[in-house]
C-alpha cells in the first residue's frame, strides 16, 4: 500500500519543530509500524536526508521504549499493543498518518519523535522501591505468604512498562496511571508496607514537581495502556494517599 | 495532615468532596422544589422554614456558598494547571477515541452551570436578601409560591433553566461516579455506583426541568 505520512521533525530540544509530509510506497500490511519507519529512513538516508529519529528497543512490546502518537492516539488505533506491535494492516492504502511525539510538559522533545521520559525514572526513584537487607541474612521472598488475589493484583500493576502512553493520551497529561501502578505493585504486598506512607507521598510529590497534570477520571489512560493497567490502581493510590496524609 | 491542598491528589479529593456536597445540596433543593408541584401550602411552609431558620440562614447557607465557590474556583485552577501540563499541542488529537465528551468537558458543563447559578442568585437569592435583611419587610409565609410561579412566566427564563439543567445532567453523568473514583472507591460496588450516578444525573436535573415547565405551562 501507499501512504502519506505527516511527521513531526525537530532538530533538537531548543529548535522549533514542524510537521513534514512524506510519501511511502509498497508498504507491506505485515510490517510493523516501526518497520515501516525503518523503510522510510532507508529511503531518506539514500537521498542524503536526515532519518527520522524514534525510540525503540525490544520490538516485542516489553520494554516500553517505543512511543509515538499515531493519528491522535498513543501507539496508534489498535488496543493493548505498543507501536512496535502495531501492524500496517490496521491502515488502508492511501491513508494519511499523523506521527507525533508524546506531548507533555514533563516529556520534552529531544529530537524528532524522541521525548525525554526520565521524569518517570525520577518518580520511580522517589519511592518505587523497597529496602531489603542484602548483607547475608536476606529473607527469601517466597517465605512471606501473600494471598493469591493480592499477588495477582500486584503483578498486574507491575506489568506497567513505563511507556508513557497514559500521559500522552490524557487530555491533562496526567501521570496518575503510571504512578499508581508503581505505588500499587508494592502497596499490595507485605514487603511494601514498611515504606508505604513515605512512598505514596514522595512519588506523588515528584509527579507534581515534574509538571504532570491532574487526573479528571476521563479514563483515556486505561483505554490506551498497552498493558491494560486498570483505573483501580488510581483509586488505590488515592486511598494510600488519604491514609498517608491522615497519618501525617 | 501534611498535604492539605498542596498536591494534585489532595486538590482532587477536595474537588470530589465539594462535588459530593453539592450533590447532597441538589437533592435537598429538588425535594423542596418538588413540593411546589404537589402542594403550594407545603412549599410555602418549607420555604418559610428555610428562609427564617437561623441554623439554615447563618450556618448552612454560608457553608453552601463556600462549597459552590470552592468547587468552581478549584475547577478553574485545575483546568489551568492541566492546560499547562501539555504545553505543546498535538497536530492531531483524537480525544473521542478513548474518553467520553462529558468527561473531557467538565469545565464547559461547569461554566454553563456557573452562569446559571449567577442568574439564579440574581433571581432568587438577591431579592430574598433585600426583602429580609435590607428592606426588613414583614414575614409573609404565603409569599414563596406566587414568587416561584412568577419566575417561570417568561419563556426565555424557562428556556435558560432547561438548557442549564441539561448541562448539569452532563456534568453529573461523569461527575457522580468520578467523585467516588477520586475518593478511592473502585471495587465490586463500582458498576452499581455508575448506574446510580447516571440515574441521578437524569432524574434530578430533569426533575427540576419538569417543575419549571409545570409552572410555566400552568400559567396559561
Ligand atoms: C450544583 C452544581 C455542581 C455539582 C453538583 C457538581 C458536581 C461535581 C462532581 C461530583 C464532580 C466530580 C469530582 C471528581 O471527579 O472528583 C465535579 C467535577 C468538576 N466540576 Fe462540578 N459540580 C457543580 C458545579 C460546577 C461549577 C459551577 C463548575 C464551574 C466551573 C464546575 C466545574 C467542575 C470541573 C472543572 C470538574 C472536573 C474536575 C475534576 O474532575 O477533577 N462544577 N463536579
Ligand atoms: S500505565 Fe500503561 S500506558 Fe502508562 S506507562 Fe504503564 S504501561 Fe504505559
Ligand atoms: S520497542 Fe520495546 S515495547 Fe516497543
Which residues in A lie closer than 8 A to residue B94 (C-beta atoms)? 71-73
The whole-angstrom distance between residue B124's C-alpha and the CA centroid of its chain comes to 15
Ligand nearest to the CA of A74: 2
Do A40 and A50 contact (CB within 8 A), yes or no? no
Kindly list the averaged pLDDT for each block of 10 residues, start to end, along chain A of length 248.
Answer: 98 96 97 98 97 98 97 98 98 98 98 98 97 84 92 97 98 98 97 95 97 97 98 98 89
Contact B10 A72 (CB under 8 A): no
Average pLDDT, chain B: 94
Q: How many domains in chain B?
A: 1
Matching residue, cell 519511592: A127
Phi, psi of B136 (to 5 degrees): 50, 50
Contact B82 A174 (CB under 8 A): yes
Contact B9 A204 (CB under 8 A): yes
Ligand nearest to the CA of A83: 3
Residue B92: give the domain boundaries. 2-217
Question: Which residue has better confidence, B70 or A247?
Answer: B70
Query: Which of A163, A167, A172 has most ligand 2 atoms within 8 Å of CB, for mutation?
Result: A163
pLDDT given at position B98: 96
Selecting from B2, B78, B85 the residue whose C-beta is nearest the C-beta of A104 gives: B85
Q: How big, in percent rounded to 5, are the helix, strand and coil portions of chain B?
A: 80, 0, 20
A89 secondary structure, DSSP code: G
Do A204 and B148 contact (CB within 8 A), yes or no? no
How many residues in chain B? 220
Measured between alpha carbons, how far is residue B4 from residues A198, B123, B213 in Å? 16, 36, 43
Which residues in A lie closer than 8 A to residue B100 (C-beta atoms)? 218
Contact A8 B78 (CB under 8 A): no
| B119-178 confidence digits (pLDDT tens) | 998 888 888 888 888 888 888 889 999 999 999 999 999 999 999 999 999 999 999 999
- Whether chain A has a CB inside 8 Å of the CB on B195: the answer is no
Who's near A101: CB < 8 A, 6+ residues apart? Answer: A8, A10, A67, A68, A69, A107, A109, A112, A113, A114, A115
Judged against a pLDDT cut of 50, whether residue B2 lies above it is answered with no
Which residues in B lie closer than 8 A to residue A234 (C-beta atoms)? 181, 186
CA distance A126 to A179: 11
Task: Sort B219 into a burial class: Cβ within 10 Å, 0-12 / 13-18 / 19+.
Answer: exposed
Measured between alpha carbons, how far is residue A63 from residues A66, A84, B66 in Å? 8, 10, 48
Instruction: Write the ipTM.
Output: 0.93
CA distance A100 to A20: 11
Query: What crossing angle do the helices spanning B8-38 and B190-218 adopt, rounded to 10°?
Result: 40
Instruction: Look up the CATH number of the domain holding residue B97.
Output: 1.20.1300
Question: Which residue has better confidence, B48 or B139?
Answer: B48
Q: How far is B18 from chain A (nearest CA, A)?
A: 14
| Residue closest by Cα to atom 7 of ligand 2 | A160
Measured between alpha carbons, how far is residue A127 from residues A36, A64, A170, B110, B212 in Å? 39, 20, 23, 36, 54
Q: Using CA atoms in the order A126, A127, A128, A134, what is the torsion angle rounded to 10 degrees?
A: 110
Tell me which residues of chain A, numbers 178 to 237, contact chain B at a CB-CB cutoff of 8 Å.
201, 204-205, 207-208, 211-220, 223-224, 231-232, 234-237
Selecting from A106, A214, A231 the residue whose C-beta is nearest the C-beta of B181 gives: A231
A231 secondary structure, DSSP code: T
Q: Per-residue pLDDT averaged across B40-51, rounded?
A: 94
Do A57 and A65 contact (CB within 8 A), yes or no? yes
Domains and CATH numbers, chain A: 3-111 (3.10.20.30), 118-247 (1.10.1060.10)
Measured between alpha carbons, how far is residue A180 from residues A136, B85, B169 in Å? 32, 18, 30
Q: How far is A136 from chain B (nearest CA, A)?
A: 37
- B133 Cα–ligand 1 center, Å: 31
Bridge partners (DSSP) of residue A18 are: A9
Name the pLDDT band for B4 (thresholds 50, 70, 90).
low
- Whether chain A has a CB inside 8 Å of the CB on B54: the answer is no
| Residue closest by Cα to atom 8 of ligand 2 | A163
Ligand nearest to the CA of A82: 3
CA distance B70 to B14: 9
Who's near A157: CB < 8 A, 6+ residues apart? Answer: A180, A181, A182, A184, A185, A188, A229, A233
Judged against a pLDDT cut of 80, whether residue B1 lies above it is answered with no
Quote the cell numbers at residue B187: 471495587
Amino acid at each position: 500500500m501507499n501512504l502519506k505520512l505527516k511527521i513531526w521533525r525537530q532538530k533538537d530540544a531548543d529548535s522549533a519543530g514542524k510537521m513534514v509530509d512524506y510519501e511511502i510506497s509498497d508498504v507491506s500490511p505485515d510490517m510493523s509500524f516501526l518497520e515501516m519507519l525503518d523503510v522510510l529512513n532507508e529511503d531518506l538516508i539514500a537521498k542524503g536526508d536526515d532519518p527520522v529519529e524514534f525510540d525503540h528497543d525490544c520490538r516485542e512490546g516489553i520494554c516500553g521504549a517505543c512511543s509515538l502518537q499515531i493519528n491522535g492516539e498513543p501507539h496508534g488505533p489498535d488496543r493493548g499493543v505498543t507501536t512496535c506491535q502495531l501492524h500496517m494492516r490496521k491502515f488502508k492504502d492511501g491513508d494519511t498518518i499523523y506521527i507525533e511525539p508524546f506531548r507533555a510538559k514533563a516529556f520534552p522533545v529531544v529530537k524528532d519523535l524522541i521525548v525525554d521520559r526520565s521524569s518517570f525514572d525520577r518518580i520511580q526513584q522517589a519511592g518505587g522501591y523497597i529496602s531489603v537487607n542484602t548483607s547475608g541474612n536476606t529473607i527469601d521472598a517466597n517465605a512471606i505468604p501473600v494471598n493469591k488475589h493480592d499477588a495477582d493484583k500486584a503483578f498486574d500493576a507491575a506489568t506497567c512498562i513505563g511507556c508513557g502512553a497514559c500521559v500522552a493520551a490524557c487530555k491533562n497529561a496526567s501521570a496518575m496511571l503510571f504512578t499508581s501502578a508503581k505505588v500499587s505493585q508494592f502497596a499490595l504486598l507485605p514487603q511494601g508496607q514498611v515504606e508505604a506512607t513515605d512512598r505514596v507521598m514522595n512519588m506523588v510529590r515528584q509527579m507534581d514537581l515534574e509538571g504532570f497534570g491532574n487526573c479528571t477520571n476521563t479514563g483515556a489512560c486505561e483505554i490506551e495502556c498497552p498493558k491494560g493497567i486498570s483505573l483501580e490502581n488510581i483509586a488505590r493510590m488515592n486511598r494510600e494517599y488519604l491514609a498517608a496524609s491522615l497519618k501525617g | 495532615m501534611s498535604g492539605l491542598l498542596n498536591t494534585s491528589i489532595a486538590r482532587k479529593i477536595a474537588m470530589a468532596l465539594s462535588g459530593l456536597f453539592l450533590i447532597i445540596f441538589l437533592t435537598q433543593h429538588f425535594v423542596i422544589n418538588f413540593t411546589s408541584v404537589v402542594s403550594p401550602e407545603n412549599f410555602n411552609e418549607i420555604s418559610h422554614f428555610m428562609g427564617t431558620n437561623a441554623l439554615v440562614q447563618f450556618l448552612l447557607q454560608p457553608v453552601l456558598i463556600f462549597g459552590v465557590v470552592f468547587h468552581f474556583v478549584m475547577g478553574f485552577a485545575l483546568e489551568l494547571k492541566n492546560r499547562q501540563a501539555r504545553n505543546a499541542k498535538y497536530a492531531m488529537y483524537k480525544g473521542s477515541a478513548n474518553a467520553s465528551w462529558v468527561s473531557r468537558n467538565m469545565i464547559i458543563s461547569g461554566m454553563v452551570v456557573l452562569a446559571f447559578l449567577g442568574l439564579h442568585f440574581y433571581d432568587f437569592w438577591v431579592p430574598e436578601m433585600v426583602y429580609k435583611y435590607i428592606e426588613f419587610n414583614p414575614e409573609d409565609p404565603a409569599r414563596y409560591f406566587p414568587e416561584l410561579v412568577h419566575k417561570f412566566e417568561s419563556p426565555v427564563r424557562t428556556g435558560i433553566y432547561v438548557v442549564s439543567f441539561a448541562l448539569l445532567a452532563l456534568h453529573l453523568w461523569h461527575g457522580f461516579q468520578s467523585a467516588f473514583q477520586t475518593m478511592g472507591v473502585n471495587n465490586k460496588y463500582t458498576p452499581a455506583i455508575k448506574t446510580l450516578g447516571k440515574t441521578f444525573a437524569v432524574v434530578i436535573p430533569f426533575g427540576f426541568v419538569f417543575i419549571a415547565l409545570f409552572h410555566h405551562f400552568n400559567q396559561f
